[in-house]
Amino acid sequence: MNIQKLILLRVPSVHILQSCGMKHFPPPPNYDHIQLPERPKLRFMDKVPYIPPGSRAPKMQKKLRLMRGPETVHNFLIHQQYGIVALGGGRLKWPHFEMMRLAIGRKIDPDRMFAIWRVDAPWQPVTKKGQGQRMGGGKGAIDHYVTPIKAGRVILEVGGKCEFKEVKGFLHNIAMKLPFQAMAVSHEMLKEREEKEKWEEENNQNYYTMKYCMQNNMGGCHKWMSPFDYKFLGKYL
């Protein structure tokens, strides 16, 4: 065999266009348009609402309608970054506010991040009678105050010069400790969720929707349905 052929067989092939493991990373996001507020941390919420001197604290009914149905006002992120959104109705007590305030105060970097409340301080009174008392005798004394929450309500927002990966962990832990179902979201997640619900409603191929079943008394559902089922079509409990 020719000596030149032997040399070519022994020499390994080398590609001139090899990049030697070179990787391309996208540029970091630009946060020059974000302005941090003077108070980056969550403010303290009062345990009891302010009552003018000389007046008595008013009592109130349960008003469960304040927790039913979807939230129609505070259902978007003002700063279009990150936050916690309620997935169901419930009530926030003062210890829940303190839990969120202390947890976020420990986790965020105040030099480049901030957090704001999107809910009011506890304002609805909840009455309770002492243990062992008989029925009757009028309405009990005020035990504590709560803030009613509807599904889709934004509880708080976190923003600043940071990415969602930095805040997702502690926002998820806080959402799991709330007395109702909640989740950590970003502005993009809320937009995708809204578009998905709209697409599913427009492209639904199932003829037997919840609205059709309720209107036509399928399975005798009129016996156990409530006015709220007709209003929300079984979507919100």
Greatest CA span in the chain, whole angstroms? Answer: 115
Arithmetic mean of pLDDT over the chain = 89
pLDDT of residue 25: 85
Give the pLDDT band of residue 60 (cuts 50, 70, 90): very high
pLDDT the model gives residue 234 = 81
Q: How many Cβ atoms are within 10 Å of 68's Cβ, its own excluded?
A: 16
The verdict on domain 32-50+57-128+139-191 having CATH code 3.30.565.10 is: no
> Both tokens of residue 61?
């009914």
* Cα atoms found within 13 Å of the Cα of residue 41, Cβ hemisphere only: 17
Residues 63-117: tens digit of each pLDDT: 999 999 999 999 999 999 999 999 999 999 999 999 999 999 999 999 999 999 9
| Burial bucket for residue 80 (CB in 10 Å: 0-12, 13-18, 19+) | middle
d(CA 59, CA 61): 7
Q: How confident is the model at residue 18 (pLDDT cuts 50, 70, 90)?
A: low
pLDDT the model gives residue 50: 93
pLDDT at 20: 63
Q: Where is mean pLDDT largest: 7-21, 28-42, 181-195, 201-215?
A: 181-195
| CA pseudo-torsion sign 214, 217, 219, 223 | positive
pLDDT score at 12: 52
pLDDT of 24 > 90? The answer is: no
Element containing residue 126 per DSSP (H, E): strand 124-128
Say whether pTM exceeds 0.95.
no
**Tokens matching residue 138:** 């009028």
Each residue of 144-191: pLDDT tens digit? 999 999 999 999 999 999 999 999 999 999 999 999 999 999 999 999
pLDDT beyond 70 at 8: no
Residue 100, helix vs strand vs coil = helix
Q: Tens digit of pLDDT for each residue in 183-202?
A: 999 999 999 999 999 999 99
pLDDT score recorded for residue 237: 66
Q: Give CA–CA dist 75/155, Å, rounded.
A: 9
Domain ranges of the chain: 32-50+57-128+139-191
In angstroms, what CA-CA distances link 100 with 1, 119, 138? 81, 12, 36
**Distances, alpha carbon 7 to alpha carbons 2, 15, 115, in Å:** 9, 18, 69
Residue 232 is encoded by which pair of tokens?
């929300």
Contact criterion met (CB below 8 Å) for 99 and 163: no
